A = this chain, B = another copy of it.
Amino acid sequence: MLKVAVLGAGYMGSAVTFPLAHNGIATSLWGTWLDDELIDGALAGCHPKLRKPLPDGVKLFRTGELKEAVRGADAVFIAVTSDGFEPVFRKLLDATDGKPCLLAMTKGFVQHGGMVQPISTVAEELFRKRFRGAPFLWASVGGPVKAVELAEGIPTATIFGVKSPRLKPLVVNFATGYYRIFFTDDVRGVELCSALKNVYAIATGISDGMYEGCGAYYHNFKALLFNQSLREIAAVVQAAGGREDTVFDLPGAGDLYVTSASGRNGMFGRRIGRGEVPSRAYGAMLREGDIAEGYHALRLGKTFIEQLGGDLLEKLHLFNTLYSIIFQGNDCRREMEQFVLRYGSGD
């Protein structure tokens, strides 16, 4: 019998227990030091984020019980926030023998060793220091997956970026009729798409905030932003060693489509588009337990792109527009208008 542990009892970690349990996999769900309320709720019969009971048989573990949660696991999903990734990953390395496959649902960049790095890079470095010579069996998980919908059994496609083909025979066991699994070997492409789509979903959110309630539709504007987002994500992914075709598939186009349609990053953008000061909007959401990951990915992503060198950053008109609005205090409407004018008509 397969055994899988899931780290992080928020939306995504809890949601992935549904297809796992559906397949009869022995499933553990471990809550971080921030997840006590979520574990309490789940134990009481209703997960507070998903607003439903977790599947029968899913074993719940509190923060002090990591070792028990991962004991004998064939694979470990890591589904914590990007902020929490490094501390949780270090604990995980201490709690295992290095044998389980590592499946990262956490998206984003981390600051590590004086640099901003993608999560898989940091994970590999930490893993290799701890378990010299052992195979690093890693997947970056991406694609258009809203957790609540996955938990409801809505047809969903996900894509696992894996370097080692050894993961595939394991991962296919997680698929169900509603959880469809694809593979790619472009790990870098998957994880950068997952991180950057949170940034660009802020842009479509801003258009919602600017135009909703005005009595006019603005699909053209949203599509313009969506399209420019794909162009810019493709430029970053390629510069970082990923592939363009990854961006134009489930990890990029698919996930950006979902993330633009609903979610916390779009909500963050909407508040900005309505005129809220970005840092206050971020703080207000945080106090309600909603982290707009794109806020951090924008800040760290800028450094990551600068590290890549060349003139890449200056070509990313929409990225720079977002940075200017969110971290430099510039007026949202004026910046968005300037963006539109810099765009098209001869390019």
Q: Which residues of A pack against B, CB within 8 Å?
A: 144-146, 148-150, 152, 154-157, 168, 172, 175, 177-178, 180-183, 211, 216-224, 226-227, 230-231, 234, 244, 247-250, 253-255, 257-258, 261-262, 337, 340-341, 343-347
Knowing A226-B254, A253-B230, A257-B222, say if A217 contacts B148 (CB, 8 Å): yes
Partner of A226 from B218, B221, B253 at Cβ < 8 Å = B253
What are 5 A-B contacts defined by CB distance under 8 Å?
A177-B341, A180-B344, A226-B254, A231-B249, A253-B253
* Complex alpha-carbon distance, A149 and B217, angstroms: 6
- Chain B residues near A254: list those with CB within 8 A: 223-224, 226-227
Say yes or no: B156 contacts A224, CB within 8 Å: yes
CB-CB under 8 A from A258, the residues of chain B are: 219-220, 222-223
Residues of B within 8 A of A148 (CB): 217
A157, B156: Cα distance in complex, Å: 30
A154 touches B218 (CB 8 A): yes
Do B262 and A217 touch across chains, with their CB atoms under 8 A apart? Answer: yes
Asked if residues A223 and B346 are in contact (CB atoms below 8 Å), the reply is no
B227–A175 CB distance below 8 A? no
A144 / chain B contacts, CB cutoff of 8 Å: 219-220, 223-224, 227
Whether the pair B249, A227 counts as a contact (CB closer than 8 A) is: yes
